[in-house]
């Protein structure tokens, strides 16, 4: 019998270079020659003539080319599920990921491309004291495992380093490049920063997002008292840069207005459109065609004041009178005024670029509140206030948005998402990514048993979620029986940890031939679970990590199905054709009627026990059920 080969399932993250080439080919097919870009032809098409590299306006630094290439490289890593460290694993839609954010961002490219509405990050400010992760462009995954797996001390980026600014920019550039891909077309990114790198960051963002997509450079008043030990000035603010992916399609929600706090809106004439307030009907300077005599309901004749005119032409005024939009006072003999209805007022207030600490909180207040959450223990220096990130969320997220923070730190973003959901009934989901940076050995956190920053952050989310739920319950009890029951709040999170792939790589070293051949026969690493492999398949096929996974038993084998049959996975050993027959029936049961779910089925290569007959018959049976997309791992 002829040997049957089933294609191998994708084992790497998204191939961004190939995708970019294909997009360019669709627009300018003539510039792609033998799979490469003819830049001279492309420049001619774009009308770029004559400029040399030295004459172009750009920010350059040592290592920029490598940083750009790194953003295009594919990751061979995976994210391993950790249900034991999670909360409400089966139901939550929130993610907490431990790992190097560069590799994690690569792994998220398929599953979350153009899905994230808002990104907030608080990267290292490059003050010379904070940690700046140095990527290893040769093998960044190996570099990550060595640094974190062996618990080596991670170094800081000091000013004595000859490439002080370059090191920081090389860290930021590929991460921002990948982050942009994840934003929805109307998505935005907020980046906290201070004076050390704000100028460089602005230029980098201009390049990555386009300077036409700059939204604002916000000033956050982070301190409320001066530091008198400072020689020249006591810095009391940080910056937050805001860029859109596409400013033309991006809208701001505005700040929530306090309805009618001072009771300016009334309804003395019982207008069915609701409460309103009256506004001046005369304006200046005078326009002759808007000067005319008005007769009030009481018969009084009225002209606009000297040098002014009426707001509307006489024709429009008559239309407003018919629509009951002109008010002459309760006696009907006052100067006419126009009615402004509360229902027609813009829902949100346009925010200003200066954010004062009394509105969004300051560093000292954030530190104290986090201490209170941890029963008086001080584990984090200068965390961001919940109110600061909550304001960003209010301005640019929707009730069901996905929020990403890939410099998660103390997990303030997760806290802010839960808090805002509790207040407005939203169902925002967060993805937090944090390097498992060890806590200092002499720190209060280490003494309390927290070995890494993610351990503190996860506990912070648990405690914050519990506190918010208690506050919700207390509010319902206080307001009485007729209070509407709040929507169920998602305070859980799924933990994943970055690691090398679950699948052994082929070792081409002749000295390791015996080991390599053994690994090719048993290609799944022995220390990996079925769940590890299942989630790697989800990542590589572009399925969200919070997708509901349904388990079925077919011929005593576990079969996983998700997305209404769009992906079916069986990782069992000793497969039989009965499994294929069962999968075919399952696909018809779960896929929506009349909808082509384009089902993909994945098996474990060793599950066929080397039997070409079972493998061939499996393909034939699945094809009879309309399934042709079959792969193995």
Residue of 393, 329, 386, 336 lying closest to 363 (CA atoms): 386
Average pLDDT for residues 282-295, to the nearest whole number?
Answer: 93
Per residue in 91-137, pLDDT (tens digit) is: 999 999 999 999 999 999 999 999 999 999 999 998 877 666 677 76
Positive/negative CA dihedral, 340, 345, 351, 357: positive
Report CA 62 to chain centroid distance, whole Å.
Answer: 30
- pLDDT, the chain, mean: 87
Q: Three-state DSSP class for 401?
A: coil
Per residue in 59-100, pLDDT (tens digit) is: 899 999 999 999 989 888 999 999 999 999 999 999 999 999
Positive/negative CA dihedral, 42, 47, 52, 54: negative
Average pLDDT for residues 573-600, to the nearest whole number?
Answer: 86
Q: Are 21 and 32 in contact (CB under 8 A)?
A: yes
Fold designation for 77-257+349-496: Rossmann fold (3.40.50)
Q: Are strands 214-221 and 354-355 parallel, antiparallel or unpaired?
A: parallel
Per residue in 152-170, pLDDT (tens digit) is: 455 667 665 657 789 999 9
Between 146 and 341, where is the model more confident?
Answer: 341
Positive/negative CA dihedral, 528, 533, 534, 539: positive
- CA distances (Å), 417 to each of 62, 144, 496, 631, in order? 38, 29, 19, 38
Between 130 and 202, where is the model more confident?
Answer: 202
CA end-to-end distance (rounded Å), the chain: 23
Burial of 456-473, coded b for 16+ CB within 10 Å and e otherwise, reads bbbbbbebbbebbbeebe
Q: Are 133 and 126 in contact (CB under 8 A)?
A: no
Q: How far, in Å, CA of 440 to CA of 427, rounded?
A: 36
What are the domain boundaries of the chain?
Answer: 77-257+349-496, 276-344, 526-632
Residue of 300, 298, 296 lying closest to 317 (CA atoms): 296
345 confidence band (pLDDT: 50, 70, 90): confident
Bond into 438 cis (ω within 30): no
């Amino acid at each position: 019998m002829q040997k049957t080969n089933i294609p191998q399932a994708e084992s790497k993250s998204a191939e961004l270079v190939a995708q970019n080439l294909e997009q360019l080919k669709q627009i300018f097919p003539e510039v792609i020659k033998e799979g490469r870009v003819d830049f001279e032809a492309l420049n001619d098409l774009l009308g770029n003539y004559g400029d040399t590299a030295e004459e172009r306006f750009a920010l350059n630094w040592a290592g920029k080319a490598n940083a750009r290439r790194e953003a295009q490289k594919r990751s061979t890593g995976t994210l391993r599920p950790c249900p034991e460290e999670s909360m409400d694993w089966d139901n939550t839609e929130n993610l907490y990921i431990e790992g190097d954010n560069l590799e994690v961002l690569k792994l998220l490219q398929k599953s979350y491309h153009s899905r994230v509405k808002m990104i907030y990050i608080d990267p290292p400010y490059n003050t010379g004291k904070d940690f700046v992760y140095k990527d290893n462009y040769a093998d960044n995954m190996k570099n990550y495992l060595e640094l974190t797996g062996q618990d080596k001390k991670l170094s800081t980026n000091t000013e004595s380093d000859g490439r002080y600014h370059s090191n920081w920019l090389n860290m930021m550039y590929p991460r921002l490049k990948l982050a942009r891909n994840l934003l929805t077309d109307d998505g935005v990114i907020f980046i906290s920063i201070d004076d050390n790198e704000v100028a460089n960051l602005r230029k980098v963002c201009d390049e990555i997002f386009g300077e036409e997509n700059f939204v604002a450079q916000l000033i956050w008043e982070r301190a409320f008292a001066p530091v008198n030990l400072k020689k020249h000035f006591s810095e009391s603010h940080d910056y937050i840069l805001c860029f859109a992916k596409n400013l033309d399609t991006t809208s701001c929600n505005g700040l929530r207005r306090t309805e009618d706090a001072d009771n300016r809106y009334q309804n003395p004439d019982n207008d069915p459109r609701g409460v309103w307030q009256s506004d001046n009907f005369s304006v200046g300077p005078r326009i002759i065609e808007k000067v005319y005599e008005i007769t009030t309901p009481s018969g009084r004749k009225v002209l606009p004041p000297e040098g002014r005119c009426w707001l509307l032409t006489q024709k429009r005024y008559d239309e407003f009178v018919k629509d009951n939009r002109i008010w002459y006072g309760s006696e009907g003999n006052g100067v006419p005024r126009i009615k402004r209805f509360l229902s027609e007022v813009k829902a949100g207030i346009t925010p200003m670029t200066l954010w004062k600490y009394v509105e969004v909180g300051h560093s000292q207040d954030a530190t104290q509140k986090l201490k209170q959450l941890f029963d008086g223990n001080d584990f984090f220096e200068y965390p961001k206030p919940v109110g600061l990130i909550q304001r960003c969320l209010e301005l640019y997220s929707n009730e069901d948005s996905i929020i990403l923070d890939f410099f998660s730190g103390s997990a303030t973003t997760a806290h802010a998402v839960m808090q805002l959901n509790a207040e407005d009934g939203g169902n925002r989901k967060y993805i937090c990514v944090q390097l498992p940076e060890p806590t200092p050995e002499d720190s209060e956190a280490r003494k309390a048993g927290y070995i890494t920053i993610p351990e503190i952050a996860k506990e912070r989310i648990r405690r914050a979620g519990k506190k918010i739920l208690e506050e919700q319950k207390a509010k319902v009890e206080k307001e009485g029986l007729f209070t509407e029951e709040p929507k169920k709040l998602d305070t859980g999170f799924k933990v994943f940890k970055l690691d090398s792939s679950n699948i052994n790589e082929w070792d081409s070293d002749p000295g390791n031939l015996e080991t390599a051949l053994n690994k090719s026969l048993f290609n799944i690493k022995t220390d990996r679970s079925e769940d590890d492999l299942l989630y790697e398949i989800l990542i590589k096929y572009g399925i969200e990590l919070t997708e509901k996974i349904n388990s079925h038993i077919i011929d005593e084998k576990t079969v996983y199905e998700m997305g209404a049959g769009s992906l079916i996975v069986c990782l069992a050993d000793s497969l039989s054709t009965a499994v294929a027959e069962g999968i075919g029936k399952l696909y018809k049961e779960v896929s929506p009627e009349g909808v082509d779910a384009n089902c993909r089925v994945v098996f474990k290569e060793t599950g066929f026990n080397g039997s070409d007959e079972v493998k061939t018959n499996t393909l034939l049976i699945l094809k009879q059920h309309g399934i042709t997309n079959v792969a193995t791992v």
